């Protein structure tokens, strides 16, 4: 169990961040979400890979996930991915120094990609 002051610190630091941010345990249980993620309906207490329809590995973990590497090295891992529509998401997995087996995960560009997908769906629906 993560101490309440860690959860409070997460909210203080990440609450207003304009991208979805998750505090996740090594077993992939979401411990906390920031305001943006909460507004998207991302629940606390579920496995993070359950949010990704493209997880695609036998153990259920996302194929692009770098959490194990970040936790093993104690270093922030950053990746960049280009989406089908040409948008880019820069993903981060940041282990907490004071709490073993807990990390912060977010992607810069996620909010823009979600907005573009929502707009495309609305245009498609309007056209039909």
Tell me: the pLDDT tens digits for 47-102?
998 887 665 555 566 888 999 999 999 999 999 998 887 889 999 999 999 899 99
E-strand spans in the chain?
21-25, 30-33, 77-82, 88-95, 102-108
Q: Which domains are delineated in the chain?
A: 4-127 (3.30.450.20)
- The average confidence (pLDDT) of the chain is 90
Query: What is the predicted pLDDT for the residue at 54?
Result: 64
Q: What are phi and psi of 88, to 5 degrees?
A: -115, 145
Q: What are phi and psi of 106, to 5 degrees?
A: -160, 170
Query: What is the predicted pLDDT for the residue at 71?
Result: 97
């Amino acid at each position: 169990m993560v101490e309440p002051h860690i959860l409070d610190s997460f909210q203080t630091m990440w609450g207003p961040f304009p991208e979805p941010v998750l505090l996740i345990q090594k077993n992939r249980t979401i411990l906390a979400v920031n305001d943006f993620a909460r507004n998207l309906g991302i629940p606390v207490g579920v496995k993070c890979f359950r949010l990704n329809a493209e997880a695609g590995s036998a153990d259920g973990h996302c194929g692009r996930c770098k959490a194990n590497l970040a936790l093993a090295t104690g270093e922030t891992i950053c990746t960049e991915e280009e989406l089908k529509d040409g948008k880019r998401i820069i993903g981060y997995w940041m282990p907490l120094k004071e709490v073993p087996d807990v990390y912060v995960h977010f992607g810069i560009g996620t909010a823009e990609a979600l907005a573009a997908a929502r707009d495309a769906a609305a245009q498609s629906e309007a056209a039909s």
